[in-house]
Amino acid sequence: MKLRVDRIQFYYEAQKVLDEISFEADEGEFIGLIGPNGSGKTTLLKIIDGVLKPKVGSVYLDCKRISEFDSRELARELAIVPQTAELGFDLKVFDVVMMGRYPYLGRLSIEGELDEERVKFWMKLTNTLHLAERSIKEISGGERQRVLIARALAQEPRILLLDEPTANLDLCYQIEIMNLLKELVEKLGLTIICAIHDLNLAARYSDKIILINDGKIKSVGKPVEVLTEENLREVFKVEAKIEYDRDSRSLTIIPIRTVTQEFEKSKRSIFSKALRKR
């Protein structure tokens, strides 16, 4: 299945948040979505998932607009793992993952043996089956994130969207989750679009990177084409050294200094005043 985002424009009231966003994602492709805070990454994921409606442009699955799918049909094609998911009820982990089976159930039908088998399959794959009887509120952040991924996978989508899946996680959990996502792409042929804050993770795991700045696409291509010193300086306001790591066979980005002159000037003034008072 090919995903095509075509000339998307989106506004929050009078403020334009996304401007002429266009790109394609092929089956079995891992796309890293990067950009500064407030650049529009989360909004774009919600538009692709059909939660938000663009003012201009469309999102297509193959040749069909997502607006032409009914909600259950779309949920079988696309699933999203949000950065934060508030679960109002104190549910068992197994029941949380079972929520992902809703596209396959009628309004009045209940889960059957097939649904339980599929939930157990995805929980095994995400290493969460041993948590099945635990409360979702009693597990760690890394475990919770894997549970949310398992819930999305229980929809059995062909495209998986993730919004900062490694945010606020220990390094071990970050690597574990990113390895899992990469395996889903390589072994099951899923298409993944993942908003990633950590540029080193984006460089290591992405087949293609989309760099967004001020609601516009600044650059699209392989990590080596997008993660350049010039782009880091212009978009992230950071001077960085970029090296190739042979062990991980990916780029390594080493920040050196910021290039926000106003902030640096203000900081020097504050330090100067503080030293005079001592």
Residues 5-52: tens digit of each pLDDT: 999 999 998 899 999 999 999 999 999 999 999 899 999 999 999 999
Backbone angles phi, psi at 190, to 5 degrees: -65, 150
What's the token pair of residue 144? 């919770």
Nearest in space to 97 (alpha carbons), one of 69, 73, 125, 71: 125
Mean pLDDT value of segment 206-235: 95
Q: How far apart are CA 265 and CA 100, in angstroms?
A: 51
pLDDT in the model for residue 113 = 87
CA dist 28 and 158 (Å) reads 9
Ramachandran angles phi, psi of 100, nearest 5° = -70, -10
Q: Which residues in the chain are classed under CATH 3.40.50.300?
A: 3-77+157-277
Kindly report whether the global pTM for this prediction surpasses the value 0.85.
yes
Which strands make up the sheet holding 159-163, listed edge to edge? Answer: 78-81, 159-163, 191-195, 30-34, 208-213, 216-221
Query: What was the pLDDT predicted at 261?
Result: 61
Neighbours of 274 (CB within 10 A): 9
Whether 272 has a pLDDT exceeding 80, the answer reads: no
Give which of 242, 247, 185 is closest to 25, Cα–Cα.
185
First to last CA, the chain: 66
Quick one: CATH architecture of 3-77+157-277?
A: 3-Layer(aba) Sandwich (3.40)
Q: What SS3 state is found at 83?
A: coil
Q: What mean pLDDT is predicted for residues 165-169?
A: 86
